[in-house]
Amino acid sequence: MCFEPDSLPPVRRIAGAAVSHDEIQLGAADGNRLAAFEATPEEPNGIGIVVLPDVRGLYRFYEELALRFAERGYHAVAIDYFGRTAGVAKRDDDFEYREHVAQSTQEGIRADIRAAVESLRPRTRAVLRPRRATASPAPSASTGCPASGTASPGRRSARASRRPRSWPFRQATTSTSRPS
């Protein structure tokens, strides 16, 4: 685990920044409903950000991170990976995410990310770009944290090349230990 469940992002709050936020539901093109957290700046800069949480899904840390982006003028939407298997209801810190990770697919997550981008598009300059071959920004199977070191386009980091190219969460379900 990268941090404790009650941690906050290491980004300072901007005192007096005016933002609004809301817990929303998005609809993917394949009919899936997913929970999301939207943070909207009072003075937007036209840029939208989709916040992809770690392996545990959407919770307070990522909601706070979306708020920090909004304080800086970015319209941010943090999504929950588990709408397909756990529904859209708010979950507590004891949520057993591993069983839902095992049921997740790349196609489903891509559809959910696309839904988040589409929700940003009317209020920002959000554009879907073709996917490049880079190291995956998704959480690693062993830690639930993003892979360390960003690989340049077309090249994978040494750590990333040890992981299979398939869904990065897949191996997390084989562990019998619970993160502390």
Identify the CA nearest to 58 among candidates 81, 33, 25, 41.
81
pLDDT given for residue 92 in this prediction: 79
Identify the CA nearest to 91 among candidates 116, 130, 123, 62.
62
pLDDT given for residue 177 in this prediction: 41
Whether 80 and 57 have beta carbons less than 8 Å apart is answered as yes
pLDDT given for residue 174 in this prediction: 37
> Mean pLDDT in runs of 10 for the chain (180 residues)?
65 72 94 95 92 88 92 94 89 85 92 94 72 49 43 43 43 40
pLDDT given for residue 2 in this prediction: 63
Pick 1-129's CATH classification: 3.30.420.40, 2.40.30.170, 3.30.70.270, 3.40.50.1820. 3.40.50.1820
pLDDT given for residue 60 in this prediction: 87
pLDDT given for residue 150 in this prediction: 37
pLDDT given for residue 168 in this prediction: 41
For the chain, the domains span 1-129, 133-173
pLDDT given for residue 164 in this prediction: 42
pLDDT given for residue 123 in this prediction: 82
pLDDT given for residue 128 in this prediction: 60
Neighbours of 145 (CB within 10 A): 13
Three-state DSSP class for residue 66: helix
| Max intra-chain CA distance, the chain | 47
